[in-house]
Amino acid sequence: MLKSIPLLLTASLLSVSLSASASSAPERVLLQKLAADSITIKWRYPANETTAEPVCVSAIGQVQQDEPHCAASTITDGGHGEATITGLRADTLYQYQIGDLSDPHFRFRTPADHNALPADGNTRILIVGDSGTQSEPSHAGEAAQVTAGYRAYNTRLGNQEALDLFVVLGDTAYVVGTDQQWQQAFFEVYPDILSSTLVLPTIGNHEMGYGSFPCEAMRMCGDKPAGTLLSYGGLSFSADPNSYDGNRDGRADPNGLPYLSIFSLPQRGESGGVASGTEQYYSVDYNNVHVVSLDSQLSARDPAQMSAMRDWLISDLSANELDWTVVIFHHPPYSKGTNHDSDSVPQRGPVDMPQKDMREQFTPLFEAHGVDMVFSGHSHSYERSYYLRGLSVSSPEMAPLNQYTELDQNGKPDAGRTRPYSQLSETSGGVDDRVIYTVAGNGGKADAAPGPRDNAEQWLRHPAHVPQPTDQLDGGCSSDHGCHHGLAVKGSVVLDADRHSLRARFVDVNGDVLDEFTITR
């Protein structure tokens, strides 16, 4: 049974198919707040032509005799049309129409009921991080290569598994997250996915525009006197979303943060989970997977906001009864990526401080409340940890590695390649207290060398991450230094969840699987 539209459309095909019904096609279409009985559909026409048109949703297949569900729409922030349709059936394929625009490719499938499986028994999630590089001339086309790699991988499976969720890990619109950059790097790269699949985002540093700071705060004074103000994209360390500066004039933009006007996120628990009261962090229940999006860019920088987010997370995870729990946020707690070494945060200034804070403040909560996997971006590489518990310190402070990791039958750290991990950890005595952390910030570019302030010997060799046998850097694993603990190649993570297993595969631009691991329950 078809679950969702296969990823076959292109931006040009989408435009052509709609042009017969309208003087111009929408420049963006986006699905939000998809639940078993409701959905929010957003769209926008170019040149401020969007009007408040009704939206109708009709079931396809066995229940097609049902009357269409229609709703009025409103014009919301950023000039988007938005309509919420209720009364839908769980695990049902629908097509939708915006005004008089109908298209066979405008369709979606509702999730199954709470903690139930869909008809085909699988939930598929595509995860990309730092994918917003189409708006950077030096990286144009690279995000599309990553999506093409996923399509190639999916084709080899005979398109057996359609896409349910599209997860983006921040830095989705370079360099400063303007509305125009979102259009170029997001809506024009993924039109077929966004019009048919629920997208779950998190805030990255490049979503927050330019940052102005004294040069000594980032140790970037050089010949400049202390107190000299510098301004760079992606270097804001403000905790206030209303401070967004997208044009480098040093003043907050009157239209606010584009990220928050583009997305309509479930702050009131509309998609399951506990209401957060903010779109900066939220949770979603989808089939038997609970996804939590945390805010490591804004909320993590203010003690009061950090405390509120922690309290909410404890409430949300305590109430969660679903089989699998996945958490996303932008700044990885463990990484030796280029310019984003999680051990060197104090020496690099406040921009990367969330890496340290998320490790110290949140990893113990993940272990205490049954989180299975955590995904972050920020570092433009792929890194994947062992099955960890208790590692809230930096690498130099670590005890022997086997004190933190799941152990294999020989009492050594288990890389999870010869057998799956168990949700109820054998090393912990049958307790669900371990987490796998993945850095997947290579959805739009990949750094092939350490930065000028990185320790070249430690680059992509964080001890909490497993060595990667497919490493091809510096002679690969045959070199004197052995395998890197990460891969400096572009790609995405494909996550499949059924009742008994949660499987992650890292897929490169050729559709090849370079790393995979599974947790069973």
Contact 147, 186 (CB under 8 A): no
**How many angstroms separate the CA atoms of 159 and 156, rounded?**
7
Give me the residue label for tokens 């983006």: 168
Structure tokens at 317: 């995870």
Instruction: State the Cα–Cα distance between residues 189 and 26, nearest whole angstrom.
Output: 14
| Structure confidence at residue 181 (pLDDT) | 98
pTM assigned to the model: 0.94
CA distance linking residue 397 with residue 388, whole number of Å: 16
pLDDT score for 62: 61
For residues 454 and 444, give the distance between their C-alpha atoms in angstroms, rounded to a whole number: 22
Question: Which residues is 230 bridged to in the sheet?
Answer: 213
| pLDDT for res 263 | 98
**Cα(312)–Cα(318) distance, rounded to whole angstroms?**
10
**In 3D, which of 344, 325, 361, 512 has the Cα closest to residue 436?**
325
Distance CA 431, CA 439 (A): 25
Question: Taking the mean position of all CA atoms in its chain, how far away is CA 4?
Answer: 20
- For tokens 């760079």, the residue is 232
Tokens 């690498």 -> residue: 395
For the chain, residues classed under CATH 2.60.40.10 are 1-110
Question: Residue 12 burial (CB < 10 Å; 0-12/13-18/19+)?
Answer: exposed
Residue 467, token pair as written in the block: 């060595």
Nearest Cα residue to 514 out of 495, 486, 482: 486
Distance, CA of 187 to CA of 199 (rounded, Å): 12
pLDDT at residue 9, as a whole number: 32
Q: Quote the pLDDT of residue 452.
A: 87
Residue extent(s) of CATH 3.60.21.10 domains in the chain:
117-204+258-268+325-520
- Rounded to whole angstroms, how far apart are CA atoms 14 and 228? 49
Task: Report the pLDDT value the prediction gives residue 161, as an integer from 0 to 100.
Answer: 66
pLDDT of 22: 43
pLDDT, one tens digit for every residue, the chain (521 residues) = 334 333 333 333 333 333 333 457 899 999 999 999 999 999 999 987 888 899 999 999 765 567 899 999 999 999 999 999 999 999 999 999 999 888 777 999 999 999 999 999 999 999 999 999 999 999 999 999 999 999 999 998 876 668 999 999 999 999 999 999 999 999 999 999 999 999 999 999 999 999 988 888 777 888 999 989 888 999 999 999 999 999 999 899 999 999 999 999 999 999 999 999 999 999 999 999 999 999 999 999 999 999 999 999 999 999 999 999 999 999 999 999 999 999 998 777 788 999 999 999 999 999 999 999 999 999 999 999 999 999 999 999 999 999 999 999 999 999 999 999 999 999 999 999 999 999 999 999 999 999 988 999 999 999 999 999 999 998 888 777 799 999 999 999 999 999 999 999 999 999 999 999 999 99
- Which residues lie across from 324 on neighbouring strands? 289
From the list 25, 382, 24, 30, the residue with the least C-alpha distance to 182 is: 30
pLDDT of res. 476 = 85
- b/e for 166-200, b at 16 or more Cβ within 10 A? bbbbbbbbbbbbbbebbbbbbbbbbbbbbbbbbbb
CATH architecture of the domain 1-110 equals Sandwich (2.60)
Report residue 31 as tokens: 């699905």
What is the fold of 117-204+258-268+325-520? Purple Acid Phosphatase; chain A, domain 2 (3.60.21)
Rounded Cα–Cα distance for residues 135 and 213 (Å) = 25
